Amino acid sequence: MELLKQRIRRDGQVMAGNVLKVDSFLNHQMDIRLFGEIGKEFRRRFEGCGINKILTIEASGIGIACIAAQYFDDAPVVFAKKNPTKNIAGEVYTSKVESFTHGRVYNVIVSKRFLGPEDRVLIIDDFLANGCALMGLIDIVRASGAELAGAGIVIEKGFQEGGRIIRGMGVRLESLAIVESMSEEGGVVFRG
């Protein structure tokens, strides 16, 4: 998606430790107009897949998933929770996820009431790196008996293993920008 790549080139910052900082438009301050274009692009790629539910994970996936849902007939969006709260009662699907950003392991939780065999699910998230969060969400979709239509990712770090593993599992994975390599001096190089 050219508009997105231009934006990453212009406003993204490559930081030490393989961090691509895009917090001015994607995951701290959010550019709602860009999110609309991202939503349209996900629709273009997953049109006709019969998607009736969108699954994401807190926090930075939520805004993108909600705006994108408007291009899938206002499909309900479910966000997986990282911090179990006393507001989640009843039975839940859980999966363990290791966070690169936060440096810890946490449980990802979705209430069983909101995902089941009647659902055809598109997973949406902002980043794919080592794939742990996405694999946790895929686990949950499979446990629920729902059908997984695919996963839509805004930025994939193509030099980490997540994309290869997920595609190897036979999951349809659509990343709108794949970073082939990046460095503090040379900036970002995209695949393709």
Q: Where in 34-53 is the site for its own copies (CB under 8 A)? A: 35-36
Q: Which residues contact 88 (CB under 8 A, 6 or more apart)?
A: 81, 109, 111
Contact 36, 105 (CB under 8 A): no
Scanning 68-76, 137-145, 161-169, 182-190 for contacts with its own copies by CB under 8 A, the matching segment is 68-76
Contact flag: residue 101 with its own copies (CB under 8 A): yes
Q: Which residues contact 124 (CB under 8 A, 6 or more apart)?
A: 42, 54, 55, 56, 61, 64, 65, 68, 151, 152, 153
Rounded-to-integer distance, Cα 158 and Cα 174, Å: 12
Residue type, 3: L
Scanning 66-74, 139-147, 155-163, 175-183 for contacts with its own copies by CB under 8 A, the matching segment is 66-74
The answer to whether 149 is annotated as binding is no
Contact flag: residue 15 with its own copies (CB under 8 A): yes
The answer to whether 27 is annotated as binding is yes
Q: Which residues contact 105 (CB under 8 A, 6 or more apart)?
A: 96, 97, 98, 99
Nearest of 129, 177, 163, 125 to residue 18 by alpha carbon: 129
Contact flag: residue 184 with its own copies (CB under 8 A): no
Q: Which of residues 21 and 164 has its CB atom nearest to its own copies in the complex?
A: 21
Q: Where in 108-147 is the site for its own copies (CB under 8 A)? A: 110-111, 113-114
Question: Given candidates 8, 75, 134, 141, which one binds its own copies under the rule CB under 8 A?
Answer: 75
**Start-end of H helices in 73-180:** 132-144, 162-168
The answer to whether 81 is annotated as binding is no
Q: Which residues bind its own copies (CB under 8 A)?
A: 15, 17, 19, 21, 23-24, 27-33, 35-36, 58-59, 62-63, 65-67, 69-70, 74-79, 81, 83, 85-89, 101-103, 110-111, 113-114
Residue ranges at the known binding site for 5-phospho-alpha-D-ribose 1-diphosphate: 129-133
